[in-house]
């Protein structure tokens, strides 16, 4: 059996209303927490890479912005944070 790679184009709406549901907390057993399921949205199609990271920003108007961050950028940011912590700045 040979492996093949195919490209699948998806149609993504720029704005989408997602339902907030409940999920079980992984840190506090028995506690319910708000959770969002991104059903039908592939983050890779939006510029997020497997092994990368995302910045979750809560804006002044309480909206949420997700921004893709490459693993290289994450490593650079971590090195900068470590340097600042060591120098006390």
What average pLDDT does range 69-81 have in this prediction?
86
Alpha helices (H) along 11-87: 71-87
Phi, psi of 5 (to 5 degrees): -110, 130
pLDDT value of position 10: 54
Using DSSP's 3-state secondary structure scheme, residue 17 falls into: coil
Extents of the domains making up the chain: 20-87
Question: pLDDT-based confidence at 35, cuts 50/70/90?
Answer: low
Alpha carbon of residue 41 to chain centroid? 12
């Amino acid at each position: 059996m040979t492996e093949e790679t195919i490209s699948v184009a998806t149609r993504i709406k720029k704005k989408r209303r997602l339902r907030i549901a409940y999920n079980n907390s992984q840190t506090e057993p028995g506690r319910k927490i708000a959770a969002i399921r991104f059903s039908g949205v592939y983050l890779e199609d939006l510029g997020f890479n497997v092994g990368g990271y995302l910045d979750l920003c809560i804006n002044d108007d309480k909206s949420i912005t997700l921004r893709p961050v490459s693993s290289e950028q994450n490593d650079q940011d971590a090195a900068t944070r470590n340097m600042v912590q060591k120098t006390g700045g």
